[in-house]
Structure 1
Amino acid sequence: MNSHQQAPPDLSTLVNLFDLEPLAAARMTTMAYEYVASGAADEFTVRWNRQAFDAIRLNPRVLVDVSQLDTRLSLFGQELPYPILIAPTAFHKIMHPDGELATARGAGAASATYVISSFTTTPLDDIARVASGPLWFQLYMSNDRAYTRDLIQHAEAQGCRALCVTVDTPVLGARNRQQRVGFALPDGITTPLMPNAMAPSTSLTWHDVAWLKSVANVPILLKGILNPDDAELAVQAGVAGIIVSNHSGRNLDTVPATIDALPRITERVAGRIPILLDGGIRRGTDVLKAIALGASAVLVGKPICFGLAYGGAAGVTKVLDILRDELELAMALTGRATLADIDESVIWRSNR
């Protein structure tokens, strides 16, 4: 590292999440930065995730009493103080020496739920030991059912309260930027839950979801739903919830932005199970828009990674605090005192 990278991070200079990426990039290896920042192929979907949020206009109401804002919600039997969770992202030790331990500490300080990736670089029991906030676990299923069952039971034994099963990755996407830098984990960094043989499975089907339900004792969410027909099948399969996700544009390029896909999913699901969303969340207004269009909560990935890289646990907390504060500002300025008050009428429709 050069001298300016060794200076302690000044989190007070962070005004918003867009400020964060260049500061984090200066502290990251090229390989780590490319891993976090990149998407698949030409990265249209990465850009659309942001552009779609930016294109949605808000329709505020005035003269509403917003002196007492309430961002609390209940989700799968868990009380959350606000509707923002940490999305599962891999390889945290390439971003900061403390890796997932720092992420867990930062999440706890911000009272946020942390969804641990199957590709954690820190053992689950070590994460659970330092976590003061709720933990969920993200699962990549393998063809080895015994291994998958053991992994689920291990996550449950460490206190993980929900299982987010990634269903959009039978193979990895064309991650050209990672290919160009020859992405590989540095010496000494491993993924204890995912030995090298545990590649994504190309043969998983809805029958495997039924098997998952038979072995898991916590709510199951399917992560990676973009098609309303799949949302309907998820409801019929009896899962607890779905996460509308395009894998942050990292798998199949030119699929729609998640916020564009959300209304179709919301219409099909029709309130039968909770819907969460990730992909492109950078502002409190984004959270408001997602809730208005049918999401119960959102998950944030890349900004958490950049917060971790820049400021460790405190950087993670700062990202969540900024988003939470911005959400409250957006609620106050649109005249919505509670999450229940945020509905589609907060979205500006030009034909009305």
Structure 2
Amino acid sequence: MTKEEQVYVFLQREKLTPDKHDGLPDSVTSTIMESRVWSAAWSAVKFVACVSVGIGFALTAIYVYKRRRKLFQKYKGMSDIEDFEREARRKLPRFTYALIAHGTGDKATVEENIAAFQRYNIRKRIMNDFPDLSTTIQDHYVELPVGIGPSMYRSWLWDEGDLCVSKAAGFLNICEIVPMLSDYSLEEIIESTQNSDAMKWFQIYICDDGFHETLVRRAEKAGYQGIVVASGGYGYEDESEGGEWTLAINNILDKLTAVRLGNFDDISPAKAFQKHGIRPTTWKDVKRLKSFTNLPMILMDIVTPKEAKMAMDHDVQGLIVSNEGGKTVDSLHGTLDILPEIVSTVENNTEVYVYGGVRSGSDVMKALGLGARACFLGRPVLYGLCYQGEEGVIQVLSLLKNELAKCMSNTGCTSVDEIGSFCVVRSSSFHEDN
């Protein structure tokens, strides 16, 4: 070590300040000053680094806190379908909520659909394994005996609503009935699924000009696995009936030209009805449809044994027990009350499904116990879509899936095929059966 370096070390140890450098050689003084500058600079660098790291940790903590809080708030309290409906009622304009939630007249049919499920109870059995919820619909594998029905105006509730619902169905690998009167074209919807194995049916109404036949051919080409034929023409109510549903139909469909239908060259619903002459289905229409498509045909809106027998005579592959959600005729029987006699009429020769009134996994269990192959959801899916788009739909369906699994576990059914009438009993006959 040189003499100057020894002096420098000494001064550093004694913590001498620059004003005490008098008498030292210039080289030593310069070395001391440079050292102090570099030392100060290094201290500043360490300080900045520490502050940066601290800010980084703080921002990360804030992000994690906000994210967890957002997720907590997002799912807080959404424990059943009624919670989703309340959220939809809170978020939507009055006429939009009326459009999806209300029915014709006094809404007696809407209420009866739900009440019918309350008239049945489930029998419990203990010591059971966890169940497998997968099944087949028209020999096609699905993860759940619950599907999505053909509801309209999804994009009113959430941006790209039709595509969100399609993605949710594909994610859960369940059956979806794509509506003819959708906001997006049938090709756009099936392409958005992101699951080539997902089951898609296409619903049609009969058109006077035969446009429905063009749609069937498009559906075949796009890869749909079935055609669902709606029995009634999608018409309007008589204004004399009054009520919010009439208000919604007359004020929205006829006057709001912003509504566009993807399968009709983006024209409005009112113009589509006028241009193509949408009308009720006849058995002659069913026979003609059977003659030019090989896709399985499912008839919708079956409510009497006579209709079920006629459908069997026309060799259809499936029947959907439905009263159109109570939006056309008031004071009809609930779908679950109709189901047993329809199942009895077809005698396992065709699959029967329920569309209307399902609000829980136990409702699904009751319908399967009374002979349905699967249930389709209408309004609950729309409520979930309104709540959080695709994620909201998944949450609604997952809620029913978990409830159904719990019901099956508590009834001794380890698979969907094991569910039978022994699982369900009408409330008034419980004591008589025991």
> Could you state the TM-score of these two structures normalised by the residue count of structure 2?
0.75
Question: 1:191 aligned to 261, 265, 272, which one?
Answer: 261
Residue number in structure 2 paired with 1:179 = 246
State how far apart, in whole Å, the 1-side matches of 2:172 and 2:226 are.
19
Equivalent of residue 286 in structure 2, options 209, 214, 217: 209
Q: Which amino acid aligns with 1:112?
A: I
Matched-pair contact (CA < 8 Å) for 1:173–1:252? no
Q: Measure, in 1, the Cα distance between the counterparts of 2:201 and 2:219.
A: 8
Give the alignment partner of residue 357 of structure 2, picking from 263, 266, 280: 280
SS at structure 2 position matched to 1:108:
helix
CA distance in 1, matches of 2:176, 2:107: 27
**Deviation by residue 1:272-318 (Cα, 9 ceiling, x = unmatched):** 10000011101101000000111000000101011111111101111
- 1:50 and 2:114 are equivalent in the alignment: yes
Counterpart Cα distance in 2 of 1:326 and 1:199:
43
Q: Aligned pair 1:323/2:390, yes or no?
A: no
Q: Structure 2: which 5+ residue stretches go unaligned?
A: 1-69, 265-271
Q: Which residue of 1 aligns with 2:343?
A: 266
Native 8 Å contact 2:234 2:278 kept in 1: yes
Q: Is 1:162–1:221's contact at 8 Å kept on the other side of the alignment?
A: yes
Residues 35 and 183 in structure 1, CA contact (< 8 A), matched pair in contact too = no
Any idea what SS the aligned residue of 2:83 has?
Answer: helix
Residues 74-113 of structure 1: matches in 2 within 5 Å?
Answer: 74-113=136-175
Residue equivalent to 1:120 = 182
**What SS is found at the alignment partner of 1:298?**
strand
Rounded to whole Å, the distance in 2 between the matches of 1:170 and 1:25 is: 25
Q: Post-superposition shift, 1:192?
A: 2.7
Q: 125-134 or 234-243, which moves further after superposition?
A: 125-134
CA distance in 2, matches of 1:342, 1:16: 23
Q: Deviations over 1:177-210 (max 9, x none)?
A: 22234441545330132424234314x4211101
Give the match for residue 3 of structure 1.
none
Percent pairwise identity: 27
Unaligned runs of 5+ in 1: 1-6
Structure 1 runs, 4 residues or longer, greater than 6 Å off: none
Alpha-carbon separation, structure 2, partners of 1:108 and 1:311: 17
Q: Which amino acid aligns with 2:133?
A: T
Corresponding residue number in structure 1 for 2:229: 165
| Distance in 1 of aligned mates of 2:365 and 2:251 | 36
Q: Deviations over 1:227-274 (max 9, x none)?
A: 001001101100011000011111111110000000110111110100
- Contact 1:114–1:134 (CA under 8 A) maintained in structure 2: yes
Greater shift after overlay, 335-344 or 84-93? 335-344
Matched, 1:10 2:77: no
Residue 205 of structure 2 is matched in structure 1 by 140
User: Given that residues 93 and 189 in structure 1 are in contact (C-alpha distance below 8 angstroms), is that contact kept between their aligned partners in structure 2?
Assistant: no
Structure with greater Cα Rg: 2
| Structure with the largest fraction of helix | 2
Does 1 or 2 have the higher relative contact order (CA < 8 Å, sep 6+)? 1
- Measured in 2, the distance between the counterparts of 1:38 and 1:19 equals 17
